[in-house]
């Protein structure tokens, strides 16, 4: 080992020498550095001294630590030896004292007996005065001195419990002595029950008591707190000894909570003072009373009752939860009843809106203790959905009945001998649209109180029922017309009420659009909207057609007189037609736009078409040029009369239709038959929808066209077929020519257009 150490030292020294040589060689690489050798030497000497000093300090510190550790180990060893000796002495003493402890059993029994006797002596005064204390306690309870009564009751219970506990300690199996003590204090349990009844009575009237005598409520709470403290003490002793006095634990705090819950529940139940049979608004009254009771009571709890209870009772939150629970139970009972539609809406509006609003649980007087955001819903969602579904079903049935009754009432008005009322613009109308949409408006306002989704559902039901209603409305309008045709004298105001029916369609349109703007967030038209719009247009246009039919029934005789011999010699048929049409249109002026404009256009077209039909029916065949000239002049004059009339009625250009009469008159007026083809060609170019049979009829009325001329004109026109694709207002399309006007040369199985 010594050789190894020497070898190791020599190796370390060699390495140090080699390192030093390298450092010196690095310092003295140039000749001018030799002058600094002494300086280098002193610097290295200082470094060496510094390193040696640090090394010595480190070694000294380690030596001091080792010395301290050795001293502590020595002291610990001495302590361990002392402890071993002490444990040996304790073990020896314990073995010697076992016999002594067994000999002290008699002393132990004497101590227990002494404790029992001491307890008996201590309670001796109470034991002898139990009957008197019971009477005093009973009197105090009757006098309402509950705090003093409870103090005496505690003294009695304490004496009884201590005696029973000592007896239990001495002999837990001695049932006889236990029963003896329980029997002697038998009235104590009755006093406890009597006192508790008084406590519960005070708590049941807590809302009144806290206003009139808050000290009484405070006393009740103090008594309950005392009993809770005694309960905890007795339960702790039971864990240690197994003994529990009779009647413990009383759990009066739990009972207090039950009483308060029952009181709140009874308070909510007492809000119903009316039934549906005695008052149709019974539910609204019930809900309003409930709202007022809950708000008033919680305000009292916050401002007064909280001060009567310890802070850890969290009184306001307890009452807040109790009222919420009771109200929830009550509204669920109401929801389970057979509610009518308006009652369902009243209940849901109250539950979903009023309950959490500033009028009730969100009232400023209850803030900030009351957080409505934390409240659970009063009704489960499935109950709300069931009620909404029931309402929609009932509402659908009701709205159908209401609309049916409204229509029946309107139908009775149609038979009146007085004209219908007019609106502020002078248009005839009935009350049907106002009644129908007043019903819709009322129900939508109610639905809007519940939520947006339900409002949209009710609106869809309204529009769907409106669609069905309009089908019946159309049928009744047709029946009205059919009944009138059986006796055109009845009803007297048929025209005026038919105008009102037409105007109602426009009112329905405007009302529907108003409802959608007001109650629907969607602006997209639906399939139902299109169906309603189509039905309304059909009812209005059919009504216009019925009125035109009425006009032309009156004109039928005068129209039949056109283009006859009597007409040629002098007739006032057209004058009468114009007067009659103008008279009717004085009433038709009370038709709303756009139907009044359509009405005028249809009347204009129909008058002209009927006139042209009279020409095509060959009621007259002119015998000579004078008759043709006279007839043509009359036709031109009458065409001007029609132009003037309908320009007056519509305020628009009416020339094209009436010009067809004038164009035909030009064909009749022509004196040179050789030019007849050119005149007919002009007519065909103006009215491309004119057909071959029309030309044949015109030539037949003219009376001077030979068979060959007619055939030549027809064949030439067929070779120069004008196009009918660009005809915007066909005039002759709907005019048929009786077959007896067709000659053998031109009669065809199927009429064809000149094209």
DSSP string, 236-302: HHHHHHS---TT----HHHHHHHHHHHHHHHHHHTT----TTT-TTHHHHHHHHHHHHHHHHHHHHH
If pLDDT is split at 50, 70 and 90, which confidence band does 662 have? Answer: very high
Average pLDDT, the chain: 85
Match 């529940």 to its residue by tokens: 265
**What are the residues facing 422 on neighbouring strands?**
428
If pLDDT is split at 50, 70 and 90, which confidence band does 743 have? Answer: very low
Question: In this structure, what token pair is assigned to residue 241?
Answer: 């000894």
The radius of gyration of the chain from alpha carbons, rounded to an integer in Å, stands at 59
Q: What is the mean pLDDT of residues 12-24?
A: 77
If pLDDT is split at 50, 70 and 90, which confidence band does 501 have? Answer: very high
At 680-737, the pLDDT tens digits run: 888 888 888 898 899 999 999 998 888 888 888 888 888 776 665 555 678 888 888 8
If pLDDT is split at 50, 70 and 90, which confidence band does 404 have? Answer: very high
- Which ranges in 337-418 belong to alpha helices (H)? 341-349, 381-414
Q: Which of 140-154, 167-181, 509-523 has the lowest mean pLDDT?
A: 167-181
d(C-alpha 530, C-alpha 372), whole Å? 44
Q: Provide the pLDDT for residue 168.
A: 79
Question: In this structure, what token pair is assigned to residue 382?
Answer: 């499935």
Q: Provide the pLDDT for residue 102.
A: 66
Q: Smallest Cα–Cα separation from 507: which of 481, 470, 482? A: 470
- The answer on pLDDT for 371 being more than 80 is no
- The answer on pLDDT for 580 being more than 90 is yes
- The answer on pLDDT for 8 being more than 60 is no
Q: Provide the pLDDT for residue 749.
A: 31
Q: What is the mean pLDDT of residues 579-606?
A: 92
SS3 746: coil
At 92-145, the pLDDT tens digits run: 888 777 766 666 667 777 776 777 667 666 666 666 677 788 888 888 888 888
**Pseudo-torsion of CA 477, 481, 483, 488, nearest 10°?**
150
Q: Provide the pLDDT for residue 746.
A: 42
% of residues, the chain, pLDDT over 70: 90
Intra-chain end-to-end CA distance of the chain, in Å: 140
d(C-alpha 452, C-alpha 234), whole Å? 60
Domains and CATH numbers, the chain: 271-379 (no CATH), 384-544 (1.10.357.50), 562-720 (1.10.357.70)
- The answer on pLDDT for 82 being more than 80 is yes
- The answer on pLDDT for 522 being more than 70 is yes
Task: Read off the pTM.
Answer: 0.66
For residue 332, CA distances in Å to 272, 285, 381, 476 come to: 15, 17, 12, 46
Cis peptide before 11, with omega less than 30 degrees from 0? Answer: no
- Concatenating the DSSP letter of every residue in 438-499 gives HHHHHHHHHHHHH-HHHHHHHHHHHHHHHHHHHHHHHHHHHHHHHHHHH-TTSSTTHHHHHH
For residue 513, CA distances in Å to 118, 439, 459, 518 come to: 97, 16, 12, 9
If pLDDT is split at 50, 70 and 90, which confidence band does 745 have? Answer: very low
Q: Provide the pLDDT for residue 112.
A: 67
SS3 691: strand
At 259-316, the pLDDT tens digits run: 999 999 988 888 777 777 777 888 889 999 999 999 999 999 999 998 989 988 888 8
- The answer on pLDDT for 543 being more than 60 is yes
């Amino acid at each position: 080992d010594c050789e190894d150490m020497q070898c190791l030292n020599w190796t370390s020294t060699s390495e140090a020498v080699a390192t030093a040589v390298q450092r010196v060689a690095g310092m003295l690489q140039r000749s001018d550095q030799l002058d600094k050798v002494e300086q280098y030497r002193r610097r290295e000497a200082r470094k060496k001294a510094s390193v040696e000093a640090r090394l010595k300090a480190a070694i000294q510190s380690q030596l001091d630590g080792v010395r301290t550790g050795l001293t502590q180990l020595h002291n610990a060893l001495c302590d361990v030896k002392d402890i071993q000796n002490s444990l040996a002495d304790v073990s020896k003493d314990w073995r010697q004292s076992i016999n002594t402890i067994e000999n002290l059993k008699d002393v132990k029994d004497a101590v227990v007996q002494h404790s029992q006797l001491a307890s008996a002596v201590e309670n001796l005064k109470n034991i002898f005065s139990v009957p008197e204390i019971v009477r005093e306690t009973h009197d105090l309870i009757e006098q309402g001195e509950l705090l003093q009564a409870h103090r005496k009751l505690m003294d009695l219970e304490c004496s009884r419990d201590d005696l029973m506990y000592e007896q239990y300690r001495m002999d837990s199996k001695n049932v006889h002595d236990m029963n003896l003590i329980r029997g002697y204090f038998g009235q104590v349990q009755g006093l406890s029950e009597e006192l508790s009844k008084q406590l519960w009575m005070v708590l049941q009237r807590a809302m009144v008591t806290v206003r009139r005598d808050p000290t009484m409520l405070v006393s009740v709470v103090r008594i309950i707190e005392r009993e809770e403290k005694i309960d905890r003490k007795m339960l702790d002793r039971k864990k240690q000894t197994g003994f529990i006095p009779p009647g413990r634990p009383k759990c009066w705090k739990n009972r207090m909570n039950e009483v308060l819950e029952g009181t709140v529940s009874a308070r909510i139940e007492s809000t119903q003072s009316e039934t549906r049979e005695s008052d149709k608004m019974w539910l609204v009254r019930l809900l309003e009373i409930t709202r007022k009771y809950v708000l008033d009571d919680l305000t009292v709890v916050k401002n007064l009752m909280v001060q009567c209870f310890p802070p850890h009772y969290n009184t306001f939150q307890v009452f807040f939860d109790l009222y919420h629970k009771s109200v929830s139970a009550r509204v669920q009972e109401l929801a389970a009843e057979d509610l009518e539609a308006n009652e369902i809406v009243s209940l849901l509006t109250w539950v979903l809106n009023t309950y959490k609003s500033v009028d009730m649980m969100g009232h400023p007087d209850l803030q900030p203790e009351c957080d409505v955001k934390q409240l659970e819903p009063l009704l489960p969602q499935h109950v709300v959905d069931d009620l909404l579904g029931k309402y929609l079903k009932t509402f659908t049935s009701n709205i159908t009945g209401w609309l049916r009754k409204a229509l029946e009432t309107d139908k009775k008005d149609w038979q009146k001998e007085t004209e219908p009322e007019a609106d502020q613009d002078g248009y005839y109308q009935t009350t049907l649209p106002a009644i129908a949409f007043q019903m819709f408006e009322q129900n939508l306002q109610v639905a809007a109180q519940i939520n947006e989704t339900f409002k949209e559902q009710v609106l869809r039901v309204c529009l769907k029922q409106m669609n069905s209603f309009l089908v019946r409305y159309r049928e009744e309008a047709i029946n009205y017309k059919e009944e009138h045709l059986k006796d055109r004298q009845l009803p007297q105001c048929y025209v005026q009420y038919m105008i009102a029916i037409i105007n109602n369609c426009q009112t329905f349109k405007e009302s529907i659009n108003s409802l959608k703007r007001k109650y629907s967030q969607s602006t997209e038209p639906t399939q139902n909207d299109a169906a309603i719009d189509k039905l309304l247009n059909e009812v209005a246009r059919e009504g216009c057609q019925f009125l035109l039919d009425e006009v032309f029934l009156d004109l039928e005789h005068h129209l039949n007189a056109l283009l006859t011999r009597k007409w040629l010699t002098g007739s006032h048929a057209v004058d009468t037609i114009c007067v009659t049409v103008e008279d009717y249109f004085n009433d038709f002026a009370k038709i709303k736009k756009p139907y009044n404009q359509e009405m005028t256009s249809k009347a204009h077209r129909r008058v002209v078409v009927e006139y042209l039909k009279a020409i095509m029916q060959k009621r007259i065949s002119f015998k000579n040029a004078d008759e043709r000239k006279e007839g043509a002049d009359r036709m031109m004059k009458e065409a001007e009369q029609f132009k003037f009339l309908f320009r007056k009625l519509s305020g628009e250009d009416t020339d094209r239709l009436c010009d067809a009469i004038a164009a035909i008159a030009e064909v009749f007026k022509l004196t040179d038959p050789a030019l007849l083809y050119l005149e007919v060609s002009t007519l065909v170019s103006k009215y491309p929808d004119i057909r071959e049979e029309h030309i044949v009829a015109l030539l037949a009325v003219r009376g001077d066209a030979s068979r060959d001329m007619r055939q030549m004109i027809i064949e030439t026109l067929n070779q120069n077929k004008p196009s009918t694709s660009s005809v915007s207002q066909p005039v002759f399309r709907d005019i048929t020519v009786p077959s007896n006007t067709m000659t053998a040369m031109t009669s065809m199985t199927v009429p064809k257009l000149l094209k």
